[in-house]
């Protein structure tokens, strides 16, 4: 694979992300901004909320998985398909939403998708079986995917270089607050309603985001900057992205890390509640603590940008996750106990706060605004699909042992580390200009 060639200004933005701050920071963001690092609060809140549709679609639902299994008379593996279907919808929907937003603009496709998300959530209320629920969850995921991919594309439209890295870190700080709130809220909802009440909450969330996007965001991609050429242009853009060694390296490193997280969130409810005897409320509390660590690390990453390069922050995150995933497997096999498992989970999840924003910023820095939607879509597909495909297979290992889950997580974190070392080493990045 080869690395793309950029005009001098775009190349300097990429170099600024890989290396410590240079004296060219005045070229990083539009001249109308007072400083090169400023990001508007309105953008952070709305775009961060949109990018959180993924965790809100999955984590709010997590404490209900055992109840869904019991109520609909399905096995653990079959019930996990309802979660996997949503994750696959979140992945595949980005393939559609990203290129469509490149060709048709960001605003209208976003509003249509949010309306479908809210309506799809209401349809899940009356699902009579796991099969029906899985289909509806897939539709819900496809619609929610637009929020994720278009939010990143809008950020790329509005910001560049270090300002883009800061913006994405701030978006993901908001994004990562969703896993703090969602499992706790989902667990408490079970005290007052059945699992169907979760989908009422998701429908309301969809309506709030629809109104916020309609009145708080404008069109960030004017007609003159949109991608033309139809399907052929879309396929050509994806081919160019996949041929870019730098983009693929950052994308795969982040995707393998996300896959480890997806295995964690899809299997750990059964393992912690069945093997270790935790209640849904305790599980949701522990999950929220882990997500709080993730949000905290994302905030630390945001504050360090400008003093430490995103490349260095990403290196720290990948190393920490590799250590935590390996430790989890050792703890489970040796039978050390719940404390060791929970500590490993915490470090594993928290390290994503360094990995996700910086890998995403470094990958998107290789693109231009015209193709930002397609680049965001490809990132999203890789991030969601790998873990979504493996999680149900891990579930087939049953609920009597945590070894299959720990082994899958360890495999993914090692894959992330190896990919990062092979494709994203600073020496290579510095020479492939």
The CATH number of whichever domain residue 39 belongs to comes to 1.20.1250.20
Q: Per-residue confidence at 326, pLDDT binned at 50, 70, 90?
A: very high
Residue 262 lies in a domain: yes
Residue 281 lies in a domain: yes
| pLDDT value of position 285 | 80
| pLDDT value of position 5 | 44
What is the pLDDT averaged over residues 86-105? 81
| pLDDT value of position 430 | 41
What is the pLDDT averaged over residues 111-129? 88
In sequence order, which ranges of 159-279 are alpha helices (DSSP H)? 161-192, 196-216, 230-242, 245-270
Residue 160 lies in a domain: yes
| pLDDT value of position 124 | 86
Q: Given the structure tokens 């600073």, which residue do they identify?
A: 426
Residue 1 lies in a domain: no
d(CA 316, CA 301) in angstroms, rounded, equals 11
- Cβ neighbours of residue 131 under 8 Å, at least 6 residues apart? none
In sequence order, which ranges of 105-160 are alpha helices (DSSP H)? 107-123, 130-158
Residues 184 and 292: beta-carbon distance below 8 Å:
no
Query: Which neighbouring-strand residues pair with 244?
Result: 2
- Please tell me the least confidently modeled range out of 29-43, 108-122, 154-168: 29-43
| pLDDT value of position 368 | 65
Number of domains in the chain: 1
- How many residues in the chain? 433
Residue 2 lies in a domain: no
Q: Which of 227, 186, 245 is nearest to 66 (CA)?
A: 186
Q: What are the tens digits of pLDDT across the range 132-181? A: 888 999 999 888 888 888 888 888 787 777 777 778 777 777 776 776 67
* In the predicted structure, residue 116 carries a pLDDT above the cut 70: yes
| pLDDT value of position 24 | 34
Residue 21 lies in a domain: yes
d(CA 431, CA 428) in angstroms, rounded, equals 5
| pLDDT value of position 26 | 32
In degrees rounded to 5, what are phi and psi of residue 399? -110, 15
Average pLDDT, the chain: 77
Residue 3 lies in a domain: no
Q: What are the tens digits of pLDDT across the range 288-304? A: 788 788 878 888 888 88
Q: Per-residue confidence at 396, pLDDT binned at 50, 70, 90?
A: low
Structural domain range at position 167:
8-431
Residue 26 lies in a domain: yes
Q: Per-residue confidence at 319, pLDDT binned at 50, 70, 90?
A: very high
| pLDDT value of position 148 | 83
What is the pLDDT averaged over residues 188-208? 83
């Amino acid at each position: 694979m080869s690395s793309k060639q950029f005009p001098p200004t775009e190349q300097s933005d990429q170099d600024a992300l890989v290396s410590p701050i240079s004296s060219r920071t005045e070229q990083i963001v539009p001249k109308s901004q007072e400083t090169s690092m400023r990001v508007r609060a309105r953008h952070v809140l709305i775009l961060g909320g949109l990018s959180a549709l993924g965790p809100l679609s999955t984590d709010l639902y997590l404490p209900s998985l055992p109840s869904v299994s019991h109520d609909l008379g399905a096995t653990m593996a079959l019930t996990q398909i309802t979660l996997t279907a949503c994750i696959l919808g979140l992945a595949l929907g980005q393939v559609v939403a990203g290129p469509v937003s490149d060709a048709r603009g960001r605003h209208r496709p976003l509003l249509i998708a949010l309306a479908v998300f809210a309506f799809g959530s209401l349809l899940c209320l009356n699902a009579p079986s796991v099969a029906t629920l899985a289909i509806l969850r897939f539709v819900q995921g496809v619609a929610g995917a637009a929020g994720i991919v278009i939010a990143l594309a809008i950020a790329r439209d509005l910001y560049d270089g270090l300002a883009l890295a800061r913006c994405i870190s701030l978006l993901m700080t908001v994004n990562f607050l969703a896993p703090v709130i969602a499992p706790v809220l989902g667990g408490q909802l079970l005290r007052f309603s059945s699992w169907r009440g979760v989908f009422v909450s998701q429908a309301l969330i969809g309506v709030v985001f629809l109104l916020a996007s309609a009145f708080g965001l404008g069109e960030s991609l004017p007609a003159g900057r949109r991608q033309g050429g139809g399907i052929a242009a879309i396929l050509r853009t994806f081919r160019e992205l996949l041929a870019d060694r730098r983009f693929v390296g950052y994308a795969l490193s982040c995707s393998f890390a996300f896959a480890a997280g997806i295995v964690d969130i899809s299997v750990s409810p059964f393992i912690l509640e069945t093997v270790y005897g935790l209640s849904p409320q305790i599980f949701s509390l522990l999950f929220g603590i882990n997500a709080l660590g993730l949000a905290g690390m994302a905030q630390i990453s945001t504050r360090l940008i400008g003093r430490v390069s995103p490349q260095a922050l990403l290196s720290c995150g990948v190393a920490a996750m590799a250590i935590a995933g390996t430790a989890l497997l050792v703890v489970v096999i040796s039978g050390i106990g719940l404390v060791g498992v929970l500590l490993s989970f915490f470090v594993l999840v928290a390290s994503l706060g360094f990995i996700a924003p910086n890998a995403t910023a470094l990958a998107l820095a290789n693109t231009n605004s015209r193709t930002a939607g397609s680049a965001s879509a490809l990132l999203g597909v890789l991030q969601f699909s790998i873990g979504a495909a493996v999680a149900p297979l891990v579930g087939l290992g049953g609920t009597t042992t945590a070894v299959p889950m720990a082994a899958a997580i360890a495999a993914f974190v090692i894959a992330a580390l190896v990919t990062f070392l092979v494709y994203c080493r600073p020496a290579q990045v510095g020479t492939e200009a």
